């Protein structure tokens, strides 16, 4: 199911070739997808408990998308019911003065998962080859060398036991317009509406080029990118959950650790 969405290492990406309305090999509709997602969410709860109890594996999930692409919604839907113990969500905002005094990966390395942990990056170090590039915040020669630096950074994490999955939630410009309008029309969603998003929307084509380079240059065997069609929220959620549960966590063959002492003779008075 997910091979179709996988970005081959060091490939040339043209996002116009990737249909954001695609549903891959899934032939069912929204209702069937939500039933499958419910089953996957329950399985994810069990696997996350195994991960935490085993204290062996480390899981890093990276979500990137254009504004309204569905990062928050994906986290809510896919990870609902997961025990917050051993689970974390990190949102990288504009760097602080202290962070700017260090290299751009310094603040990221502090947030990566430890043993038994699953961490989600809601936006990530990829902003340093995306928004930084689009707004010319650093010279081109600086952001261009960051692709190799990011690959080396993620290789180090992988070699030290971190399993990395990266998802680009792919919507088209018309879908973004609809979602922004929904926020504007619904007073309960006004808190999510940011006028600055309209300025970013004007730079859509620039962002697409930046994403194409980032996806193609940093999808590796140790940290692959998946381009997830995200116009249909129900398929987006199903695809991400399937990748995490079926394609990744179940293949780790995790199990609960043996107790430190024999328990057969323990009597609770």
SS3 of 87, please? Answer: strand
CATH number for the domain spanning 79: value is 3.40.50.300
Sign (positive/negative) of CA torsion 100, 101, 103, 107? negative
| Distance, CA of 47 to CA of 15 (rounded, Å) | 33
Residues 148-164: what's their mean pLDDT?
Answer: 98
In a domain, 263, yes or no: no
Band (pLDDT 50/70/90 cuts) for residue 231 is very high
In a domain, 46, yes or no: yes
In a domain, 75, yes or no: yes
Task: Name the residue range of residue 136's domain.
Answer: 3-252
Q: Are 117 and 88 in contact (CB under 8 A)?
A: yes
The number of folded domains in the chain is 1
Asked whether the predicted pLDDT for residue 2 surpasses 80, the reply is no
Give the pLDDT confidence of 50-107 residue by residue, as tens digits. 999 999 999 999 999 999 999 999 999 999 889 888 899 999 999 999 999 999 999 9
DSSP β-bridge partners for residue 225: 166
Asked whether the predicted pLDDT for residue 229 surpasses 90, the reply is yes
Query: Would the pTM of this model clear 0.85, i.e. be above it?
Result: yes
Q: Are 53 and 257 in contact (CB under 8 A)?
A: yes
In a domain, 232, yes or no: yes
In a domain, 260, yes or no: no
In a domain, 153, yes or no: yes
- Tell me the DSSP string of 184-236: HH-GGGGGG--THHHHHHTTHHHHHHHHHHHHHHH--SSS-EEEEE-SSHHHH
Asked whether the predicted pLDDT for residue 1 surpasses 70, the reply is no
């Amino acid at each position: 199911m997910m091979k179709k969405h996988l970005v081959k290492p060091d490939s040339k990406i043209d996002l116009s070739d990737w249909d954001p309305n695609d549903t891959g090999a899934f032939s069912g509709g929204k209702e069937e997808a939500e039933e499958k997602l419910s089953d996957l969410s329950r399985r994810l709860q069990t696997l996350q408990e195994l991960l935490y109890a085993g204290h062996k594996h480390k899981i890093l999930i990276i979500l990137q998308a254009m504004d309204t692409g569905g990062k928050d919604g994906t986290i809510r839907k896919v990870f609902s019911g997961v025990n917050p113990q051993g689970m974390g969500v990190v949102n990288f905002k504009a760097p602080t003065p202290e962070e700017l005094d260090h290299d751009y990966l310094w603040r990221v390395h502090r947030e990566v998962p430890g043993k038994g942990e699953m961490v989600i990056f809601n936006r990530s170090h990829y902003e340093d080859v995306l928004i930084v590039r689009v707004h010319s915040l650093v010279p081109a020669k600086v952001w261009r060398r960051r692709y190799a630096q990011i690959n080396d950074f993620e290789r180090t994490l992988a070699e030290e036991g971190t399993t990395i999955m990266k998802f680009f939630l792919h919507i088209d410009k018309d879908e973004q317009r609809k979602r922004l309008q929904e926020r504007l029309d619904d007073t309960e969603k006004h808190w999510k509406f940011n006028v600055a998003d309209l300025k970013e929307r004007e730079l859509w084509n620039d962002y697409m080029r930046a994403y194409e380079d980032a996806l193609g240059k940093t999808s590796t065997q140790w940290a692959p990118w998946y381009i997830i069609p995200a116009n249909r929220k129900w398929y987006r959620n199903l695809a991400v959950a399937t990748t995490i549960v079926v394609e990744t966590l179940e293949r780790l063959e995790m199990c609960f650790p043996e107790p430190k002492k024999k328990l057969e003779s323990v009597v609770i008075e």
